Every structure is written in C-alpha cells, then in structure tokens.
C-alpha cells in the first residue's frame, strides 16, 4: 500500500472557556493520496477552516487546543514540529490557498516579488533562476502575459486574477499537498470555472494531493473525486462524489444536496431547505448533533453518537442512513 500524501488521525480542536469546553473539531480522521482531490464540505461554522489551520499548525498557541494522534505528510508526522521546522515545510511541502486573496496578499509588493519570495525561502538559486520559476508558476495557472502580472500590485488585478496569482504562489515550490479554503467562493460562475480548471490541471501535472474546502457541493463535485461532509465539527459522511450525488446516505448530506439551486427548464415550484438552524458550539445537542433537524430521528440518535462506519469504501455516521 502506498503512503497517503496527507493522513490525519483523530484531530480535535477546542477552546477552553469559562463555562466549559467548546469543541469545534471533534476527532476527525481522513487521508488523501497523491494526485487525489478531496472535498471538505459543510456550512459556515462547522469547523472546516479550523481543520485546515490545525493541519498547517497555524492556530495561535493561546486559547485554542489542538490534539491529534498524528498529522502525516508523506508518512512524516508534522504535528510535533517546532516553529522553525514548520516554517521549512510550509510553502514547500504543504501550501494553502486562502479564500480572500485581497487580504492574504501583501499590498505593497508586486505579485512577482511575493511569488519569488516563497521560492527563494525554500530553494537556492540565482536571480534569473528564481525569476524563471516565478514566471513559470504564473504561466502554469493560465496567465499568457506573465511578465505583466508579475509587475502588478494585487490591487491592479481583478478578484479572479488575484486568486490565480495566489494559486501560482502556492504551487511555485510544487508542494505535495495543497489546502484550498473556499478559493472560488467570492467569484462569479465563469471565473470560478476557469480557476477550477487551472487547479485541476496543476493537480494532475504535479500529482498534488488537494484538500478542497467549500460550502458548495456543486463546486466540490467539479474538482474532487472524494468528499467529506462535516457538521458541527464531526465528519458525517465520507464517500466519492459520484456516490454522494447519486445517493447520499446521511440525511444531512441529502439535505445539503437538495438545497443546491438547479438550472432546470421549468422554474421550481418550491425551494427546498433544511429546517432549523445550526446549533451554536456552546449549545450542541447530545447524541448526533444533527438529530434536532433530522427527519429520520429516533430515540437512540438523541442519546448516543453514531460512529463513522465504513462499508464498500463509504463511511457514514448515522443510525438510520438512507
């Protein structure tokens, strides 16, 4: 068996507050092989971004607690690295694409300077070599005038261009794993299509493992083979996209799917949604967190937590799966 590019075992993230413990990520485990893209979907506040930050070790040391039985990058545990060791792998072996390129990029440096800086940090090379690599990275995400883009400041680029430039920055060192946190959420359909296409090509080219975080299942479907559904810090379903869209087994996954607006010839007579609201982390129901909103709920769901059971390569955490 091959070593997965990214393997996360029993990762938890919680806050210690006055009245008690607020758990935002609850014992999640998954792995992604090289060349695969896996989606992590869920509504805002379900712990998706916390998961990403915990994997990268970017959460502040005070107030937030992270525990895991290992976060392995190509078989090497990165959960116990010291800050200097961590800096050496960030950007080189694992990189992140953020949701808001406008705030993630530095306004006072050109794109060329920012991308070169990432490359220089991890690799020796002459000025010309660094510049060559930087321009290659820009070309690889689809810019035909890489020189112009390299000379631009972030504010001179449109939102879509900024996001592509940021992907170029994340891929300049050809990391084994990329975590993309809602990279297309702020963009219109068309720019989104373009960026997903570029990301897909890069992923194939370099055999990168991608953890693609999004609240939008239809976007995840376009780029990922596998998908994990998260709710209130727990993974409820892990499967491949095709099976999820064909027959979701967890009632929450099915509910999420029914919310996606569809373009059909007839205007829908009725808009579907999941009744109720996401509980606050301070007010999580016991048992299955989704039980109060679930149409298939029974007594057991309210008292005990269903484990993520695997069968035929699909995992579902539900006592009464569909």
Partner 1 sequence: MMNRPDQANKPPLLEIRDLCLSFQQQQQLAVDRVSFDIKAGRTLGLVGASGAGKSSVGRAILRLVKPDSGEILFKGKDIYGMNRQELKATRQRIQLVFQDPSASLSPRRTVEQTLLEPLQHFAIGDANHQRDKARQIIQTVGLDKSALQRYPNQFSSGQQQRIAIARALVTNPDLLIADEAVSSLDVSIQAQILQLIQMLQKDFGISILFISHDLAVIRQIADDVAVMYQGQLLEQSPADQFFSEPSHPYSRSLLSFAQGHTPKNWQGDKWQLERIRKSAENSFNCVFSDYCPDKMEICENQEPAMHNIQFENQHIPEPHCVKCHLYDEVKSHDH
Residue numbers at the binding site for partner 1 (CB under 8 A): 43-45, 142-145, 148, 156-161, 164, 187-191, 193-194, 197, 215-218, 221-222, 255-256, 259-268, 271-274, 277-278
Rg of the Cα atoms in the chain: 21
* Contacts of residue 270, Cβ cutoff 8 Å, sequence gap at least 6: none
Instruction: Compute the least distance from the CB of residue 276 to partner 1, in Å.
Output: 10
Q: Which is nearer to partner 1, 146 or 238 (CB)?
A: 146
Instruction: Compute the least distance from the CB of residue 294 to partner 1, in Å.
Output: 14
Instruction: Compute the least distance from the CB of residue 149 to partner 1, in Å.
Output: 8
Instruction: Compute the least distance from the CB of residue 314 to partner 1, in Å.
Output: 22
Q: Which is nearer to partner 1, 63 or 261 (CB)?
A: 261
Q: Which is nearer to partner 1, 221 or 289 (CB)?
A: 221
Instruction: Compute the least distance from the CB of residue 9 to partner 1, in Å.
Output: 28
Q: Which is nearer to partner 1, 97 or 196 (CB)?
A: 196
**Under 8 Å between Cβ of 284 and 295:** no
* Paired strand residues for 139: none
Q: Which is nearer to partner 1, 4 or 160 (CB)?
A: 160
């Amino acid at each position: 068996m091959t070593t997965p590019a990214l393997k996360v075992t029993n990762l938890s993230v919680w806050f210690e507050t006055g009245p008690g413990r607020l758990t935002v990520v609850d014992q999640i485990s998954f792995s992604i092989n090289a060349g695969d893209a896996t989606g992590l979907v869920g509504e805002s506040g379900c712990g998706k971004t916390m998961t990403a930050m915990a994997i990268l070790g970017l959460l502040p040391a005070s107030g937030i607690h992270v525990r895991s039985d290992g976060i392995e990058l190509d078989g090497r545990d990165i959960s116990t690295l010291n800050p200097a060791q961590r800096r050496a792998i960030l950007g080189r072996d694992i990189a992140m694409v953020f949701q808001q390129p406008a705030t993630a990029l530095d306004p006072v440096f050109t794109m060329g300077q920012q991308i070169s800086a990432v490359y220089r940090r991890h690799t020796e090379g002459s000025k010309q070599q660094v510049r060559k690599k930087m321009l290659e990275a820009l070309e690889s995400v689809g810019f035909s005038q890489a020189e112009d883009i390299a000379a631009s400041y972030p504010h001179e680029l449109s939102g879509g261009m900024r996001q592509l430039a940021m992907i170029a920055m994340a891929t300049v060192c050809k990391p084994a794993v990329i975590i993309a946190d809602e990279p297309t959420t702020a963009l219109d359909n068309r720019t989104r299509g373009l960026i997903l296409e570029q990301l897909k090509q890069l992923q194939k080219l370099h055999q990168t493992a991608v953890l693609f975080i999004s609240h939008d299942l239809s976007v995840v479907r376009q780029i990922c083979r596998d998908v994990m559904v998260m709710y209130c810090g727990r993974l409820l379903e892990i499967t491949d996209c095709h099976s999820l869209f064909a027959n979701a087994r967890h009632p929450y996954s099915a509910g999420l799917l029914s919310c996606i607006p569809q373009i059909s010839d007839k205007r829908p007579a009725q808009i579907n949604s999941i009744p109720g609201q996401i509980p606050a982390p301070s007010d999580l129901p016991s048992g299955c967190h989704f039980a109060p909103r679930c149409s298939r709920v029974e007594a057991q769901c309210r008292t005990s937590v269903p484990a993520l059971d695997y069968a035929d390569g699909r995992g579902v955490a539900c006592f009464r799966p569909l």
